[in-house]
Amino acid sequence: MGRNLPYEAAKRLARFGAEPDRLALASLPETRPELLYYLAGDASSAVRGAVAGNTASPAQANRLLAADADPAVRAALGRKLAPQAHALSIAEDRLAAIAWQALCLLAEDAAVHVRAVIAEELKAMPDAPHALILRLAQDAAMAVAEPVIRLSPLLSEEDLLCLVVAPPVPDTLTAVARRPALSESLSDAIAATADEAAIGALLANPSAAIREQTLDGLILQAATRIPWQESLVARPSLPPRAQRALSLCVAGHLLEALTARPDLAPGLAKRLQERVEARLIESASEPSAAALFEAAAMSGDREAMTRLLAREAAVEQRGVEEAIRLRSARALVSLCWQAGFNLRCAMLVQAVLGQIAPGMALLPGPDDGGWPLSTAEMIWQIELLAEPMVRA
């Protein structure tokens, strides 16, 4: 179709032309606004979609197409209007107001695809209307919310904290956790939710700033979560204390990757190698009580853990149960020491049996990764557990 088609001929095509001709007419930016408005009511969704995407279409046609029965038509309209969001939201003329209302309707469209198209257009726009961005970020569909949550420069720290404290859906937490350059405050808030998927995404986010105390608690919880361990081993920066704790926490197949870290603390590589050799020796013989304890922890068998700990520490099972009830990290670590278990067991006992909150766990000491309590204190803790049993 020529671009210089006379008006009367174009008018006849709009009314009586074959679909390909009407489609071509609806796509031309030179087509008169009144003809585009007429074609906005065409029986063919392809023609209406062409009108929706045509920048020359009048505001009245946009308003009509915002309620079109075909989601593809509405999506085409959203793709056209979204880049104009800033200008439309501040314009004072009536036609711009009509277009802005149409865009707002599309942002709340029943079809996820339509809302997702708008989110994709606005996700990195620096001057998009804040209220519209926030509405998309609060969407229950992640195809809509996640691109905006992850990339919009308009979401403030307060906006993101609100999404973490009161997420519209659980997946909202994971989307926030994946946002680049996450602050320590936001990382703390995500860690406090105890949402496993969100925390996993946080640990896998290399640019997220995580406070050392928060990281310590998450490493403890990672003792029974292999995906978390994989993310921790790959993090670009780990403080020395976190490295020591992780060296006791990680599964055997991750020891090599941890050993290969260029920032590994002095002496830690040697201890990691010793752990590998000890595991090889242990695998060739009957499993020790500590190995059985680790296996029970990894499978979540708290009853077997309690029984093994009581037996090897030579205390009544009621004493172990009391330490669990009190969620006493000191008592549980002391029981592991008394049982002759290793420091990995001391981490597992806190994570699985004690369910110690992040930040409250006792991690290996700085001196060669030793026990976090003195021998005198651990003996005292064991005596405290034994006293009620003696009186009974």
Give the structural domain span for 370.
Answer: 289-391
pLDDT at 276: 67
Same structural domain for residues 384 and 346?
A: yes
- Tokens read off for 271: 């201890």
Section 284-290 average pLDDT:
78
pLDDT at 390: 43
Q: What is the pLDDT of residues 342-354, one digit of tens each?
A: 888 999 999 999 9
pLDDT at 286: 74
pLDDT at 270: 76
Section 207-222 average pLDDT:
92
Domain membership flag for residue 32:
no
Of 285, 317, 346, which residue is a domain's last?
285
Same structural domain for residues 317 and 250?
A: no
Q: Any alpha helices (H) in 2-70, and if so which ranges? A: 7-16, 19-27, 33-39, 45-53, 59-65
Domain count, the chain: 2
Give the pTM: 0.82
CA 134 to centroid of chain Cα atoms: 18
pLDDT at 392: 40
Q: What is the pLDDT of residues 30-82, one digit of tens each?
A: 999 999 999 999 999 999 999 999 999 999 999 999 999 999 999 999 999 99
Q: How confident is the model at residue 2 (pLDDT cuts 50, 70, 90)?
A: very low
Q: Is the pLDDT of residue 220 over 90?
A: no
Cβ atoms of residues 64 and 86 within 8 Å: no
Residues 6+ apart with CB under 8 A from 247: 255, 258, 268, 271, 272, 275, 369
pLDDT at 75: 98
Same structural domain for residues 331 and 257?
A: no
Q: What is the pLDDT of residues 168-200, one digit of tens each?
A: 999 999 999 999 999 999 999 999 999 999 999
Q: For residues 329 and 351, give the distance between their C-alpha atoms in angstroms, rounded to a whole number.
A: 9
pLDDT at 88: 95
